[in-house]
Structure 1
Amino acid sequence: MQIVRNNKTYTITDNDLFIINSGDIHLTRSLGHVEVLCLLIPYELITKSISEDKSIRFREYFSHDELYEDPVFKSMLHQLISMRALYEQRPKGFQFLFISSLNLFLYILYNNYVVSQNIEIDKITKHLPRLKELLDYVEMNYSERISLKDAASFVALNPEYFCRTFKKLTGFTFIEYVNLVRLAHIHKDILDTDDSITAIQERHGFTNNKVFSRMFKETYGCTPSKLRG
């Protein structure tokens, strides 16, 4: 699986761990069939316990190939695996053990992997609330034509500044991001419906066939027809 965050792409493989810090805009995409364990932790859970820290950021990428002998990393993975087992098996009172494992995971993370804020990114995070509103708008209206000018106006920013800010926060131009949202819906419909690929493509607003073919293969590693098999 790939994770894009702040203009950098990470390729996640078996037993890797990735932390998405609170407020970070990111994009994930799977290259083929993958199984991912995702744990969503409310940021308030951390700040209520660690009240003296106004803004906490953690290391993002943990490579299993590099850290497989590190006892701290192994302990974090153990807690994650324990939480997964408890959540799936659900023995009586499993919530108590789940919370215990979660707290141990956060304790290890906080005491070993807190990092300083990126000053450049920190300067533009003031625009995050409006950008998140824009991303929600894109998700609801991706099949329609959304111009760069309209997007910049939506967040009340100069178009040129909006382009730079969006690229820094997501790693993509705005138009690339909209097309990736379209691709994700197209990918799902190719697998879940018997509709023609052309009909699916048109339904989700991807009108440029050349760009569609190129981006689909770059994103999913095959052509739409090969995906359907």
Structure 2
Amino acid sequence: MDFEHETINSNKDISVKFQYFEDNGSEISKHWHRSLEIIYLITGKLEVNINGVDYSLNENDIIVINTLEIHSTICKYGNTAVVLQVPYQFCENYIDNISTTKFICNPTITDEKKILSINDLKEILFSFYNIYNKKELGYILKINSLIFNLLFILVNKLSIKDKKFDTNKSDKYLSRLDLIIEHVENHYSEYITLNSAAHELYLSPEYFSRFFKKYIGTTFLKYLNNIRLEHAYIELVNTDTNIAQIIERNGFTNYKTFMKLFRAKYNCSPNEKRKQIRNNNN
């Protein structure tokens, strides 16, 4: 649940990370990784934010998250999805100029040729899922062929060259963000101010504030409250803990502030959200 650098480990038997998810409701805060990530939504809905741009995924939608793109997801009412993550080194071995190659694949695309290519990606992921589940003799050979076929489509049909999108340059700034986000994640339940966070990281408050807003796209206080809300949300929908206790142990000191922020983000009160999740699970 962290806005942090995420280390992607491949499945033990294949060169990528492939997972099937059944999600009853969750929120993954902003984070990044060097792997190329593809989310294919099978059922339900999913909200994805990539570099400050919101995308709403419905059943049978697919989205590609490029290496080092800052992204987050919200699943409000449950969904099922498959997620494929291809390590950067794997891409680097087979794709020329990968550091300045950006793949464009999301639900807003209307170009008919691109839609055909996106449908091909869906078929590949569906085949990937079936073959990997069965693990018949020689399945790794077939899986590898599907990986290369998927990358071939992305490179030839759904990519652009963009010098502004240079992952080698982005690494420097994201390494500094690691320190900031780690500090917030370790201390979000405590009393934190912009000044105290900047002091912990040996940065001036002014620089810290500008740097954070530039690369995260929001103020430090809004980000901190969002992290607190995410932790409170998980506790709310997965436990019977009293709401006042949830508020207190997730760093909020003002009941009214929490209720206002919660309603602004989830369009309901905490009690209403708890009932929604339970009704959907039933």
- TM-score class, shorter-chain normalisation, is 0.7 to 0.9
Amino acid at match of 1:58: K
Amino acid at match of 1:42: P
Displacement of 1:43 after TM fit? Answer: 0.7
In structure 1, C-alpha distance between the alignment counterparts of 2:167 and 2:85, rounded to whole Å: 23
Match of 2:246 among 184, 190, 200: 200
TM-score, normalised to structure 2, is 0.69
Displacement of 1:108 after TM fit? Answer: 0.9
In structure 2, C-alpha distance between the alignment counterparts of 1:201 and 1:58, rounded to whole Å: 41
Residues 8/120 of structure 1: CA separation in 2 closer, same or farther (3 Å cut): farther
Residues 104/190 of structure 1: CA separation in 2 closer, same or farther (3 Å cut): same
TM-score, normalised to structure 1, is 0.83
Match of 2:208 among 155, 162, 169: 162
The question of whether the paired residues in 2 share the 8 Å contact of 1:6 and 1:168 is answered with: no
Match of 1:57 among 101, 117, 127: 101
Identity %: 31
Match of 1:34 among 79, 94, 98: 79
Displacement of 1:219 after TM fit? Answer: 2.8
In the alignment, structure 2 segments of 5+ residues that lack a partner are 1-45, 276-282
Residues 166/14 of structure 1: CA separation in 2 closer, same or farther (3 Å cut): farther
Per the alignment, residue 24 of structure 1 pairs with 69
For the aligned residues, what is the CA RMSD?
2.9
Which structure's residues are more often strand, by fraction? 2
In structure 2, C-alpha distance between the alignment counterparts of 1:89 and 1:64, rounded to whole Å: 34
In the alignment of these two chains, the number of paired residues is: 228
In structure 2, C-alpha distance between the alignment counterparts of 1:140 and 1:191, rounded to whole Å: 22
Secondary structure of the 1:36 match is strand
Confirm whether residue 111 of structure 1 aligns to residue 159 of structure 2: no
Residues 108/54 of structure 1: CA separation in 2 closer, same or farther (3 Å cut): closer
Confirm whether residue 180 of structure 1 aligns to residue 226 of structure 2: yes
In structure 2, C-alpha distance between the alignment counterparts of 1:15 and 1:67, rounded to whole Å: 17
In structure 2, C-alpha distance between the alignment counterparts of 1:161 and 1:7, rounded to whole Å: 21
Counting only pairs closer than 5 Å after superposition, residues 61-72 of structure 1 correspond to structure 2 as: 61-63=105-107, 66=110, 70-72=115-117
Amino acid at match of 1:57: T
Per the alignment, residue 184 of structure 2 pairs with 138
In the alignment, structure 1 segments of 5+ residues that lack a partner are none
Which structure's residues are more often helix, by fraction? 1
Q: Which runs of 4+ in 1 moved over 4 A?
A: 119-125, 153-158
Residues 181/14 of structure 1: CA separation in 2 closer, same or farther (3 Å cut): same
